[in-house]
Amino acid sequence: MSAPSSISGLRDHVRETVFALHCDHRHGPAEKVYENGPAHQLLKSGLEVKPPHPLAVFDEDGTVLAHYCADLLIDDRLIVALKAVRHVIDEQIAQLLGYLRSSRIETDLLINFGAPILSVKK
């Protein structure tokens, strides 16, 4: 399979992949299972996947302020943050949005495998 050309197609493909993984493993395993599983499946589908991958966090003038380690970077255009917690808290969402803005990557997914129902937020 070739990589989806649109970002929405890429997000949909990742959602389908993590949903299948969640159906197989349910909630409960360690977060590492949910990092390795999607990475493995997405690589098999022909996507470029970089697990965990450092992303530069830029100031407005282009100065690198720090590095954020994305759980997955897919095709250099989609950040995926993986959680295995009962509930995602607002601070986790705010932190990811901050990283997203300052890393200059436009799209992310926050995926939580830790609840009985898979949660995927963009």
CA–CA dist 85, 102 (Å, integer):
25
> Mean pLDDT, to the nearest integer, of 64-85?
89
What is the per-residue pLDDT across 12-50, written as a single tens digit (0 to 9) for each? 999 999 899 888 877 666 677 777 888 999 999 999 999
State how far the Cα of 39 lies from the Cα of 116, in Å rounded to an integer: 21
Give the pLDDT of residue 28: 67
Residues in a beta bridge with 78: 74, 107
Q: Torsions phi, psi of 59, nearest 5?
A: -80, 170
What is the pLDDT at residue 35?
78
Q: How confident is the model at residue 75 (pLDDT cuts 50, 70, 90)?
A: very high
pLDDT at residue 1, as a whole number: 53
Six-digit token pair at 93? 């969402």
Q: How far is CA 10 from the centre of its chain?
A: 12
pTM given for the model: 0.83
Asked whether the predicted pLDDT for residue 3 surpasses 70, the reply is no
CATH of 7-121, one of 3.40.1350, 3.30.450, 1.10.8, 3.30.70: 3.40.1350
DSSP label at 113? -
At what angle are helices 7-25 and 31-44 packed, to 10 degrees?
A: 130
Q: Which helix (H) or strand (E) holds 110?
A: strand 107-112
The average confidence (pLDDT) of the chain is 86
pLDDT reported for residue 59: 87
